[in-house]
């Protein structure tokens, strides 16, 4: 690992098919890093626990919800979480309890399992620990889910930012 790689914090957001919630979270977190001047120190990606949508763009309602809030989700392509993602990332963020359970089950040891967290647990104002899946709902639900993700991502970023800034 190069010195630059050691100074880069890597986070992967994980949902079911990697076309709704996790691409939203990855894009929001990437924008938070860019806005704070840490875009070169943080890599934010996403993946799904399932392989149903591998290679596809994000759901059009995801892209539209992101666009309405000033984000760009057009470059996203879905992929499935792999064992290598544990080694390649410092933090694995599940969007709901089902993803958390699956990811902890896939972990090979306590070190990998210890990287798994639920996104909403970072937001002290959150009323739930699960981000609901908007896939079978309308555009309004995508906006609501994006709002939840923004709040929790800001809280997560505030928690990580001091350590990332002080890393040499």
Catalytic residue numbers?
A: 15, 21, 133
CA distance 42 to 53: 26
Structural tokens at position 23:
């691409």
State both tokens at 18. 């990697």
| Tokens 């990287």 -> residue | 115
Q: Would you call 23 helix, strand, or coil by DSSP?
A: helix
Is the CB of residue 131 less than 8 Å from the CB of residue 118?
no
How many H helices and E strands in the chain?
A: 7, 4
């Amino acid at each position: 690992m190069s010195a630059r790689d050691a100074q880069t914090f890597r986070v992967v957001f994980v949902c079911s098919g990697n076309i709704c919630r996790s691409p939203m979270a990855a894009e929001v977190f990437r924008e938070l890093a860019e806005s704070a001047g840490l875009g070169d120190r943080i890599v934010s990606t996403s993946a799904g626990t399932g392989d149903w949508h591998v290679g596809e763009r994000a759901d059009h309602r995801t892209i539209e919800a992101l666009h309405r809030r000033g984000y760009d989700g057009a470059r996203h392509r879905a992929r499935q979480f792999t064992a290598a993602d544990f080694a390649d990332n410092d933090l694995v963020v599940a969007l709901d309890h089902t993803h958390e359970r699956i990811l902890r089950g896939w972990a090979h040891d306590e070190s990998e399992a210890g990287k798994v967290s639920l996104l909403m647990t970072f937001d002290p104002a959150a009323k739930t620990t699960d981000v609901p899946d908007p896939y079978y709902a309308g555009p309004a639900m995508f906006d609501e889910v994006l709002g939840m993700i923004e709040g929790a991502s800001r809280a997560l970023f505030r928690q990580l930012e001091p350590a990332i800034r002080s890393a040499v």
